[in-house]
Structure 1
Amino acid sequence: MTTSLVQESNRKLWLAAIKPPMYSVAVIPIWLGTVVAFTETGTIKIGIFSTFLISAILIIAWLNLSNDVFDSDTGIDKNKAESVVNLTGNRSLIFWLSNLFLAGGILGIFAIALWQRDWTVIQLVLLCCALGYSYQGPPFRLGYQGLGEIICFVTFGPMAVAAAYYSQTQTWSFNYLATSVIVGITTSIILFCSHFHQVEDDIAAGKKSPIVRLGTKVGANVLAWFSGGIYVLIGLFVLLGIFPIWTLLTFLSLPLAIQLVQYVGQYHDQPPMVRSCKFIAVKLHFLSGLLLGLGFVFGY
């Protein structure tokens, strides 16, 4: 019985370390950029979409693993049991494994660039990777200055959606930009929620996360404004004719946003409880992005 419990505990730790739900942050921007391109051109380049999607997942794997490595260097993850570095006890292995994932992801995007004889997409993705590195990587560590949410918004919003859209059309449009604002906010909300339970560790490591700067109570209020802002923007874009009326389907994800805001509002200063709020945020990000894309398809 004891061995079984230990194995189950280890399995849960590994699942938490690998973060399978987090890979939606790779899927949703590619999905939305491709869907907007489809509604404007009437076609989807399946080979390019598939290659881009796999590459984006590999790049997210690099980002997750390398962040564990860089956090282990600062000691901020010393109490984090689900750190891959802590689980393996082998920083060097995880560092080189993360670089292997990065190389695979970049290779896929490079193949798209060669295929289209256009270097725009690879340039955008390389810039995304550079920004991703600056979040935790030395000597920048901009996440420690509280800039992570801004980097997250730009990288997974306008830049990622633009790259996916351009890979399909090799041109630009305002519609993808409006869409990218929504996904940029929902992605940043995930990162914002991940800070609530680790305020003490962040302070000890000198990390000035938004929650360290604001406090958990004000942070919970800010979360409420940004969560509600998603639906205000979608309604506004529909009224302006930027989004088809079918994108109001995204409002079906509103109960998740309400659940997230209420949960954080209740447990914002209780680390053992509030730590799970990021998983609600991931669900919100995925469902709202999926419904937004379907709204474009149905409105086509």
Structure 2
Amino acid sequence: MNDTATEISRRKAWLMAARPHTLPAAAAPVIVGVGFALHEGLFAPLPALAALVGAALIQVGTNFANDYYDAVKGVDTDERTGFTRVTQSGLISPSKVKQAMYGTFLLAIVVGVYLVYVGGLPILVIGLASVVSGIAYAGGPFPLGSNGLGDLFVFVFFGVIAVMGTFYVQAAQILAAPFSIGIPGGTVTMHAFLASLPVAAISTNILVVNNIRDLKNDRKAGKRTLAVLIGYRASRGEYVGMLALAYLVPVYFATTEAFGVGVLLPLLTIPYAAMVARTVLTKTSGEALNPALEQTGKLLAAYSVCFALGMVA
């Protein structure tokens, strides 16, 4: 193999490790947070852009952490039916993946310095908690993903906190002085929390599909995901329940005086959601659920764009 082919293979391996198909989970909460900020008249472009970059870095850093820790702990084996993991397969050495994990989280912290300047102490706490949790998802003495807490982690950090945090830094830029110690008025609202729930729900469903696909292998490896703990039937019920939550929120918003009927725009994605759900409810193989995993990510992206546009409209 010549040097050029080797370099291309190396780039492809790193792309596999970064898992770009998961980036909708990073972009979606920022899109919704920006849409809500526009609705409230509190849009601030620089904090929104920094939130997007920071969220993407935390997502990629978490992907590196999962790849590394699941390999060194023996969770990933040759029987795995999901996407190729570069550490377990030997494409990239464990030490290099670990270095990439820490380097990516360090970059996220650098971006976070600006957000802390804008949003103050609350953003410092949220940012550090996000980084620590990203590592603790698969690493540390009590890995969240291996002890039934992965779904809760995704719901909270990649949904609620990500959407509300995106809105918060924009609102703080306009309503508060730099580096405030407390929470400025108008930066944390009930509507912002409710707007975060659909993103939290569909982001969680990405993990649900992943864990249903890997249920048998995870059980053999001693990885106690929520799917392992509650089984196929309840996990599928979780998937449907999360979809129901996602589609009830815009319906509720449409009944309030603060939003118009445009907020119902996400309902246009229901047929696509139903198609993906049909696969999740009937299949267990990687051949069927790998596409469903990517499709759930696409659903998250489409829903979030529609939701943001609907709030602005």
Q: Deviations over 1:91-134 (max 9, x none)?
A: 011101111111111111112323x3723223212122222232
2:176 corresponding residue in structure 1: none
Q: Whose helix fraction is larger, Structure 1's or Structure 2's? A: 1
1:70 corresponding residue in structure 2: 69
1:257 corresponding residue in structure 2: 273
Contact between 1:175 and 1:243, CA under 8 Å: does it hold in 2? no
SS of the residue 2:294 aligns to: helix
- Give the root-mean-square deviation of aligned CA atoms: 2.4
1:113 corresponding residue in structure 2: 116
1:290 corresponding residue in structure 2: 305
SS of the residue 1:195 aligns to: helix
SS of the residue 1:194 aligns to: helix
1:3 corresponding residue in structure 2: none
2:126 corresponding residue in structure 1: 124
Q: Does residue 206 of structure 2 align to residue 203 of structure 1?
A: no
- Partner amino acid, structure 2, of 1:73: V
Query: Which 10-residue stretch deviates more, 174-183 or 105-114?
Result: 105-114
Matched residues, number:
289
- Partner amino acid, structure 1, of 2:132: A
Q: Alpha carbons of 1:287 and 1:266: their partners in 2 closer, same or farther (altered >3 Å)?
A: same
Superposed displacement of residue 283, structure 1: 1.0
Q: Does residue 244 of structure 2 align to residue 228 of structure 1?
A: yes
Q: Does residue 160 of structure 2 align to residue 161 of structure 1?
A: no
Superposed displacement of residue 239, structure 1: 1.8
Superposed displacement of residue 35, structure 1: 2.1
The TM-score normalised by the length of structure 1 is 0.88
1:15 & 1:70 partners in 2: Cα distance? 18
- Partner amino acid, structure 2, of 1:39: H
Q: Does residue 58 of structure 2 align to residue 59 of structure 1?
A: yes
- Partner amino acid, structure 2, of 1:274: L
Contact between 1:65 and 1:84, CA under 8 Å: does it hold in 2? no
Superposed displacement of residue 139, structure 1: 0.9
Match of 1:212 among 228, 232, 244: 228
1:4 corresponding residue in structure 2: none
Q: Alpha carbons of 1:70 and 1:221: their partners in 2 closer, same or farther (altered >3 Å)?
A: same
2:233 & 2:290 partners in 1: Cα distance? 15
Superposed displacement of residue 12, structure 1: 7.9
Unaligned residue ranges in structure 1 (runs of 5+): 1-7
Superposed displacement of residue 88, structure 1: 2.4
SS of the residue 1:275 aligns to: helix
Superposed displacement of residue 84, structure 1: 2.3
Q: Alpha carbons of 1:93 and 1:10: their partners in 2 closer, same or farther (altered >3 Å)?
A: closer
* Equivalent residue runs for 1:15-54 within 5 Å: 16-41=16-41, 43-54=42-53
Q: Does residue 255 of structure 2 align to residue 239 of structure 1?
A: yes
Contact between 1:256 and 1:284, CA under 8 Å: does it hold in 2? yes
Superposed displacement of residue 286, structure 1: 0.9
1:83 & 1:12 partners in 2: Cα distance? 12
- Partner amino acid, structure 1, of 2:141: P
Q: Deviations over 1:66-93 (max 9, x none)?
A: 1111111221112246112134240011
Superposed displacement of residue 51, structure 1: 2.0
* Equivalent residue runs for 1:5-20 within 5 Å: 16-20=16-20
2:136 corresponding residue in structure 1: 134
2:39 & 2:240 partners in 1: Cα distance? 32
SS of the residue 2:297 aligns to: helix
- Partner amino acid, structure 2, of 1:56: A
The TM-score normalised by the length of structure 2 is 0.84
1:248 corresponding residue in structure 2: 264
Contact between 2:29 and 2:166, CA under 8 Å: does it hold in 1? yes
Superposed displacement of residue 284, structure 1: 1.1
2:124 & 2:219 partners in 1: Cα distance? 37
1:149 & 1:164 partners in 2: Cα distance? 21
Q: Does residue 91 of structure 2 align to residue 88 of structure 1?
A: yes
Superposed displacement of residue 10, structure 1: 9.6
Taking only the aligned residue pairs, the percentage that are identical comes to 24
SS of the residue 2:207 aligns to: helix
1:151 corresponding residue in structure 2: 153
2:248 & 2:190 partners in 1: Cα distance? 19
Q: Alpha carbons of 1:120 and 1:46: their partners in 2 closer, same or farther (altered >3 Å)?
A: same
Contact between 1:70 and 1:136, CA under 8 Å: does it hold in 2? yes
